[in-house]
Amino acid sequence: MIVNLDGRFCTAEQACLPLQDSALLFGDSLFETIKVQNNKVLRIEAHLDRLALSASLLDFPRNHDEVRTNLLQTAERCPWPLARLRLTLTRGICNGLAVPPAQHARTIITAVSCSDPDDTQRKAGATCVFAPNRRVNPLSHLPQMKRGNYADCLYAARYAQSRGAREALFRTDEGHILEGATSNLFLIRDKTLITPAAGELVLAGVMRRQVLQAADTLGFTVRQQPIDMQTLFQADEAFLTNAIIEIMPIARLENFPLKRGPLALELLQAIRNGAAS
């Protein structure tokens, strides 16, 4: 593991946070999970844009240029062909619920080796289950942010793992399918790309943005609309997206097989070839 703490490289054992850090006490932190390929930070601008929005909405201190520099310097040190960066911002030491002074803020970046799903895994597709829990009240949820308080997604992801599935999909009380615990959801039907609109309960994922751009370039019709079970089972293809796996077709949901096709992986190839910047 490579560790960059406030712009300085150290070992994992040397990296320490005070017990009064608001991230430890309240989950008061922001994070981004970012892919590195051959020492290049992929989609860095999209990640920084989302981080800037999150920081603005929560009045979170950050130095945009310093964060960028720290990410690039950490990526340069990665000895692996593929790596996963975890960027975490905390407010630092706090006194009760009072907002800490901006100078207490901390920036933590870790890097570890990762791997892409191989062709066999992508062709086999992912098995998904429905999450046993619901998203929290849409009036209080802030899905456009990736916050350290990750309990709902963590609970769902671990449930999926216990069922031998790759992902757990959240639903609304009305039965609309929203997204995965760690991914966005897309369907394809008759060269139409369908995905729930980002907003109240759906994260504006970095890879989601790339897929929408690539779909437009490749001549797809794009519809951002609610997805119910009927829409899902009528689809020609369904797939998940996030910054690390990029695009993963879905083979099964619970005990039901889903249709498969070539277009999801064609979108992935277009993105990798630079159809969407």
Inform me whether the pLDDT recorded for 102 exceeds 80. Answer: no
Instruction: Give yes or no for a contact between 108 and 2, defined as CB atoms under 8 angstroms apart.
Output: no
143 pLDDT higher than 80: no
Residue-level pLDDT at 136: 65
Give the list of residues 6+ apart from residue 14 with CB closer than 8 angstroms, or none: 3
Asked if 60 and 31 touch (Cβ cutoff 8 Å), the reply is no
Is residue 61 over pLDDT 90?
no
Q: What pLDDT score was predicted for residue 277? A: 42
Taken in order of first residue, the domains within the chain and their CATH numbers are 2-113 (3.30.470.10), 119-272 (3.20.10.10)
- Which tokens belong to 174? 């009305």
Q: What is the pLDDT of residue 76?
A: 98
pLDDT at 104 over 90: no
Tell me how crowded residue 18 is: count the other CB atoms within 10 A of its CB. Answer: 11
Dist. CA 194–CA 212, nearest whole Å: 10
End-to-end CA distance of the chain: 29
DSSP the chain: -EEEETTEEE-TTT----TTBHHHHH--EEEEEEEEETTEETTHHHHHHHHHHHHHHTT----HHHHHHHHHHHHHT--SSEEEEEEEEE--B-STTSPPPGGG-EEEEEEEE-----HHHHHH-EEEEE-SS----TTT--TTS-BS--HHHHHHHHHHHHTT-SEEEEE-TT--EEEESSSEEEEEETTEEEEPPSSSSS---HHHHHHHHHHHHTT-EEEE--B-HHHHHH-SEEEEEETTTEEEEEEEETTEE----SHHHHHHHHHHTTS--
CA distance 148 to 141: 13
Q: Tell me the pLDDT band of 276, cut-offs 50, 70 and 90.
A: very low
* 164 vs 62, higher pLDDT: 164
Residue 184 in contact with residue 207, Cβ under 8 Å?
A: yes
Dump pLDDT digits (tens) for 167-192: 999 999 999 999 999 999 999 999 99
Q: Is residue 152 within 8 Å of 206, Cβ to Cβ?
A: no
Closest CA to 122 of 263, 270, 277: 263
Phi, psi of 179 (to 5 degrees): -170, 175
103 pLDDT tier (thresholds 50, 70, 90): confident
The chain-wide mean pLDDT, for the chain, equals 92
pLDDT in tens, 4-45: 999 999 999 999 999 999 999 999 999 999 999 999 999 999
Closest CA to 87 of 53, 45, 47: 47
**Percent share of the chain, pLDDT over 70:** 95
* Residues recorded for the chain: 277
Going by pLDDT thresholds of 50, 70 and 90, the confidence category of residue 144 is low
256 compared with 277, residue with greater pLDDT = 256
Q: What average pLDDT does this structure show over 184-206?
A: 93
